[in-house]
Homo-oligomer: A and B are copies of this chain.
Amino acid sequence: MTKTELEDIYHDYIACLNKQDWPRLARFVDSDVRYNGNQIGLEGYRSMLEANFAEIPDLHFNIELLVGELPYIASRLHFNCTPQGKFLNLNINGANVSFAENVFYKFHDKKIVQVWSVIDKTAIEAQLMAYSDRGDA
């Protein structure tokens, strides 16, 4: 597999998420996938994503920056969305928030076997604080 092929697969994976095409997820995610150190497996991964879309109906993954070095992809994802209730244990309640996720993926046989993700919670807190200061949330 070349780096370009890996990056093409990654773009297809992100398109799969944005379409919520869950039956197709198995093409991209290994059955024993590990997420932030926990072996959640494909079913756990799918459940996590389904829960994300249930909590954030307008969730959309946007690739802002992609760095690839076999067998890894590092991606900075950008989100602009309105979580309906709590997200990351913060009371969002339909406020519009923009934030980044810096995430690493390890691939094996063209599938994601490991993910290390960090979401910028501090940026979301700053936006909620600004809304609160303005009195409009």
Q: Which residues of A contact B (CB under 8 A)?
A: 3, 65, 67-69, 72-74, 76, 88-89, 100-104, 116-122, 125
A69 CA / B121 CA spacing, docked (Å): 27
Give chain B residues whose Cβ lies under 8 Å from the Cβ of A76.
104, 116
* This chain's copy number in the assembly: 2
**Are B102 and A116 closer than 8 Å at their CB atoms?**
yes
Q: List 27 A-B contacts (CB under 8 A).
A: A65-B72, A65-B104, A65-B116, A67-B69, A67-B72, A67-B73, A67-B74, A68-B69, A74-B74, A74-B104, A76-B104, A76-B116, A88-B122, A89-B122, A89-B125, A100-B116, A100-B118, A101-B118, A102-B102, A102-B103, A102-B104, A102-B117, A118-B119, A118-B120, A119-B122, A121-B121, A121-B122
Alpha-carbon distance A101/B122, docked complex (angstroms): 13
Nearest CB in chain B: distance from A52 CB, A: 14
Could you tell me if B118 and A102 are in contact, using CB atoms closer than 8 angstroms? Answer: yes
Residue of B nearest to A106 (CB): B65
User: Which residues of the partner chain B approach A88 to less than 8 Å between Cβ atoms?
Assistant: 122
